[in-house]
Amino acid sequence: MADGLNQTSEQRSQGAAASPLAIELIGINKHFGPVHANRDIHLQVRRGTVHGIVGENGAGKSTLMSILYGFYTADSGEIRVNGSPHKITDSRHALALGIGMVHQHFMLVDNFTVLENVVLGAEDSPLLNRTYAKARDTLKRLADDYELEVDPDAIIENLSVGQQQRVEILKALYRGAEVLILDEPTGVLTPAEADHLFRILRTLREEGKTIILITHKLREIMAITDEVSVMRQGAMVKTLETKSTSPGELAELMVGRRVLLRVEKGPSNPGKVLLEVENLVVTDDFKVPRVKGVSFSVRAGEIVGIAGVAGNGQSELLESVSGMRDQQSGVVRLNGTPLSLEGDDGAARARAAGLAHVPEDRLREGLVTAFSEWENSILGYQDRYGRGLGLDIALAQKTAEDYIKKFDIRPPNKDLKTANFSGGNQQKIVLAREMERDPDVLIVGQPTRGVDIGAIEFIHNQIIKMRDAGKAILLVSVELDEIRSLSDRILVLFDGQIVGEADPATADETELGLLMTGAHSPTATSAGPGTLPAHQTPLERGLEQMSVRDNAGKDAP
């Protein structure tokens, strides 16, 4: 990431203050029922700049951008594009005004080619020949101008996530976008891909395009934006010039109080081995091996972090060790005793043996969002509530109330439907449930994905607390920063194998990045240290051996 993020501030802000406004929002208000999602928002985005928008989940960033892009109409307020007011009624209208959007979850047809996706909805005539020819020319020109090279005839599902994102950008540019909105664009990218994206954005800015970047990564804001606007609870708190602010100040503005950006923890004090994984082989739903003979152990009082680019077998590893997914071969030992995990109720036996699991995706795996809060507080442990058939609801609710207090879950309402809690509070519900059962081993996947900065601090502290209480903790995260600041030992997973181990105190980011992309693995041809490999991800490399129908190379958003 180094190359992409180390541009000097002089380079980036020249002329920013003087340029005219591309977008101006005046007094935007938007209600959803009783929720005031945007309150009296004023925003000025100058042409030819990168304008960052930061804020916690639910701060109203996405709503605001959806209003600008025509998904929603504001209750009141005015949108000015290049100085003249417009009522943007739908996204087609927004595009006509030169506003394009790259969504966090790509809006691509998976089994279409790049070319087909680009022209979809922008066909000139019922017969496509001429459109295709024109699009091909335009794509070639865009590729040359902005480093946006993608094979126009490649099928989307065979492309890496980074390339798919490039297709989204191409789609917007093909439709003549002058203002490009990017919603959390680096969430799914490898460091190298993110680096490439930033180079593209910089070129776009040089060509006079305007970019609005929504992100929660303050480092990216500092590195690429000219100006940054902070939102909190539906209101615009402040717009700052990036070079005259700091991550600390931004974080404070976002949360409304001082936050600690670094994790405070003492040295670890490892005891005996509690979790032992030996030669684990796991396949995915399509019988493709994703974990290929992994062995490691976690000791009491130790956090072992698994670093890796999403889609290198982390999910299958977690699911298998926690009993959700059957293993092909290998042994998982807990406290020296092998766990029997086969069958689709293996998770129950893993829990009974003292293994708690905070899953990667709380909405898909960890919670039943239609359940009330108290019901989710006992999910997985329901058999411990009540004798015989009956469920001891009073006891379950008491447990829930206890957790709400201990983990400061808000709103403190055990009867509220879980879907109505914010991401951070939902994650706290899961954490409380798994941590408060006094497990020997805690497996944590993406503990702070989609979680507010304030809650991140709390969650990290809880994990450290578990470690200090003598638990063995296995941590998987795609956020390298998180792995480095929490772990006592780092294992790097690439292509289903552990390709290296590092000490978080001494490991440097470039080195880890290289390991994560397989540059040091015995099979890959090594690039020299310090040079980033060409923009070929492990996925891309793997694709050469893959058939079209094989989904294995697809990343997991």
Partner 1 sequence: MIKAPLPRWADVVLLPLLNVVLAFLIGGLIVLSVGQNPLRAVQVMLYGAFGYGTGLGYTLYYTTDFIFAGLAVSLAMQAGLFNIGAEGQAYISGLGVIFIALAFNGLHWAFMFPLMIVAAALFGAAWAFIPGYLQAKRGSHIVITTILFNFIAISIMSYLIARVLKPAGLTSDESAPIDAASRVLQLKTFIPFFKTAPVNITFFLAVAALFGFYWLIWRTKFGFAVRALGFNPTAANYAGISNQKMIMIVMALSGALVAMVAVNNVGGVQGRLIMNFVGGAGYVGIAVAFMGKGHPVGVALAALLFGMLYQGGSELAFSMPGITREMIITIQALVILFTGAMGDMLRNPVARLFALASPPVAEKR
Minimum CB separation of residue 68 from partner 1 in Å reads 19
Nearer to partner 1, 133 or 370 (CB): 370
| Residue in 411, 412, 529, 557 binding partner 1, rule: CB under 8 A | 411
Q: Give the Å distances, CA to CA, from 274 to 82, 337, 533.
A: 62, 10, 38
> Does residue 339 belong to the site contacting partner 1 (CB under 8 A)?
no
Is the peptide bond preceding residue 522 cis, with omega within 30 degrees of 0? no
- Of 9-17, 116-124, 185-193, 342-350, which segment contacts partner 1 by CB under 8 A? 342-350
| Residue in 282, 347, 432, 466 binding partner 1, rule: CB under 8 A | 347
Cα separation, 509 vs 517, in Å, equals: 12
* Run of H or E residues at 200: helix 191-206
> Does residue 509 belong to the site contacting partner 1 (CB under 8 A)?
no
- Of 90-98, 157-165, 237-245, 369-377, which segment contacts partner 1 by CB under 8 A? 369-377
- Of 197-205, 295-303, 366-374, 496-504, which segment contacts partner 1 by CB under 8 A? 366-374
> Does residue 373 belong to the site contacting partner 1 (CB under 8 A)?
no
| Residue in 17, 35, 394, 395 binding partner 1, rule: CB under 8 A | 35
Nearer to partner 1, 258 or 364 (CB): 364
Instruction: Look up residue 129 and give its two tokens.
Output: 């020949």
Nearer to partner 1, 347 or 532 (CB): 347
Task: Collect contacts of 80-87 with beta carbons under 8 A, ≥24 apart.
Answer: 80/21, 80/23, 80/24, 80/25, 80/26, 81/22, 81/23, 81/179, 82/20, 82/21, 82/22, 82/47, 83/20, 83/21, 83/24
x/- mask, partner 1, residues 263-302, rule CB under 8 A, reads ----------------------------------------
Positive or negative, the CA dihedral 410, 412, 417, 418 is: positive
Kindly report the CA angle at 174 between 169 and 180, in degrees rounded to 5? 45
> Does residue 357 belong to the site contacting partner 1 (CB under 8 A)?
yes
CB 33 within 8 A of CB 225: no
Q: What is the DSSP letter of 439?
A: -
- Of 31-39, 236-244, 284-292, 306-314, which segment contacts partner 1 by CB under 8 A? 31-39
Nearer to partner 1, 92 or 134 (CB): 92
- Of 161-169, 292-300, 383-391, 485-493, which segment contacts partner 1 by CB under 8 A? 383-391
> Does residue 70 belong to the site contacting partner 1 (CB under 8 A)?
no
CB 279 within 8 A of CB 497: no
Nearer to partner 1, 56 or 227 (CB): 56
Q: Give the Å distances, CA to CA, from 255 to 233, 259, 291, 446.
A: 9, 8, 39, 21
**Length of the chain (residues):** 557
Which regions of 235-354 does DSSP assign to beta strands (E)? 235-241, 273-283, 289-299, 302-307, 329-334, 337-338
> Does residue 36 belong to the site contacting partner 1 (CB under 8 A)?
yes
12-22 in b/e burial notation, b at 16+ Cβ within 10 A?
A: bbeebeeeeeb
Minimum CB separation of residue 320 from partner 1 in Å reads 12
| Residue in 97, 230, 350, 514 binding partner 1, rule: CB under 8 A | 350
Minimum CB separation of residue 175 from partner 1 in Å reads 24
> Does residue 383 belong to the site contacting partner 1 (CB under 8 A)?
yes
Minimum CB separation of residue 86 from partner 1 in Å reads 24
Q: What is the DSSP letter of 498?
A: E
> Does residue 379 belong to the site contacting partner 1 (CB under 8 A)?
yes
Minimum CB separation of residue 427 from partner 1 in Å reads 14
Q: What amino acid occupies position 243?
A: K
Nearer to partner 1, 234 or 308 (CB): 234
Phi then psi for residue 226, to 5 deg, are -95, -40
Size of the site for partner 1 (CB under 8 A): 46
Count of other CB atoms within 10 angstroms of residue 299: 21
Please report, in angstroms and rounded to a whole number, the separation of the first and last CA atoms in the chain. 21
Q: What is the DSSP letter of 512?
A: H
> Does residue 234 belong to the site contacting partner 1 (CB under 8 A)?
yes
> Does residue 31 belong to the site contacting partner 1 (CB under 8 A)?
yes
| Residue in 4, 70, 185, 323 binding partner 1, rule: CB under 8 A | 323
> Does residue 348 belong to the site contacting partner 1 (CB under 8 A)?
yes
Minimum CB separation of residue 327 from partner 1 in Å reads 15
List residues binding partner 1 (CB under 8 A): 31-36, 58, 233-234, 322-324, 343-351, 357, 359, 364-371, 375, 378-380, 382-383, 385-386, 389-391, 393, 410-411, 422
